[in-house]
Amino acid sequence: MSVESLIGYGIHTKPTYIFGRSIEQTQKESGTGDILALGSNENAYGPSPKAVEAIVEAAVQAHRYPDPVNLKLKQKLADRYGFTIEEVAIANGSADIMGVISRIFVCPGDEVVVANPTFSEYRDKAVFNQGTPVVVDLPEDTYELDLDRMYEAVTDRTKLVWVCNPNNPTGVPVNGDELEAFIRRLPEHVVAIVDEAYIEFADDPSVRTMLPLVRDHNLIILRTFSKIYGLGAMRVGYSIARREISDCINSTVTSFAVATPAVEAACAAFDDQEYLQMVRDGISEGRRYLRREFEALGWKVYPSQTNFLFVDAHMPSAELADRLAAQGIVIRGNFRYPRITVGTKEDNRRLAEACRKIAEEEK
Ligand SMILES: Cc1ncc(COP(=O)(O)O)c(C=O)c1O
Instruction: Give ligand 1 pocket residues (Cβ under 6 A).
Output: 41, 93-95, 119, 164, 168, 195, 197, 224, 226, 232, 237
Enumerate the CATH 3.40.640.10 domain ranges in the chain, comma separated.
49-271
What pLDDT was estimated at residue 126? 94
For residue 188, count CB atoms less than 10 angstroms from its CB and return exposed for 0-12, middle for 13-18, buried for 19 or more.
exposed
**How far away, in angstroms, is 214 Cα from ligand 1 center?**
20
Enumerate the CATH 3.90.1150.10 domain ranges in the chain, comma separated.
3-34+274-362
What pLDDT was estimated at residue 18? 67
What does the alpha-carbon distance between residue 153 and residue 161 come to, in Å, rounded to a whole number? 10
**If you take atom 12 of ligand 1, which residue's CA is the nearest one?**
197
What does the alpha-carbon distance between residue 148 and residue 113 come to, in Å, rounded to a whole number? 12
What does the alpha-carbon distance between residue 88 and residue 69 come to, in Å, rounded to a whole number? 10
3-state secondary structure of 297: coil
What pLDDT was estimated at residue 15? 64
Q: 17-68 pLDDT, tens per residue?
A: 667 778 888 888 888 788 999 999 999 999 999 999 999 999 999 999 999 9
CATH 3.40.640.10 fits 49-271, yes or no: yes
**pLDDT(235) > 70:** yes
What does the alpha-carbon distance between residue 110 and residue 168 come to, in Å, rounded to a whole number? 24
What does the alpha-carbon distance between residue 84 and residue 78 come to, in Å, rounded to a whole number? 5
**pLDDT(328) > 70:** yes
**If you take atom 16 of ligand 1, which residue's CA is the nearest one?**
168
Best residue among 43, 77, 119 to mutate for probing ligand 1's pocket (most ligand atoms within 8 Å of CB) is 119
Q: 237-252 pLDDT, tens per residue?
A: 999 999 999 999 999 9
Please report, as a single letter, which amino acid is at residue 81: Y
Give the residue-averaged pLDDT of 213-217: 97
Average pLDDT taken over every residue of the chain: 95
What does the alpha-carbon distance between residue 233 and residue 244 come to, in Å, rounded to a whole number? 31
The topology under which CATH files domain 3-34+274-362 is Aspartate Aminotransferase, domain 1 (3.90.1150)
**How far away, in angstroms, is 94 Cα from ligand 1 center?**
6
C-alpha separations of 309 from 80, 146, 218, 343 in Å: 30, 20, 31, 11
Q: 127-169 pLDDT, tens per residue?
A: 999 999 999 999 999 999 999 999 999 999 999 999 999 999 9
Question: Which contiguous run of DSSP H or E holds residue 240?
Answer: strand 237-240
**How far away, in angstroms, is 360 Cα from ligand 1 center?**
35
Ligand 1 closest atom vs CA 96: 11
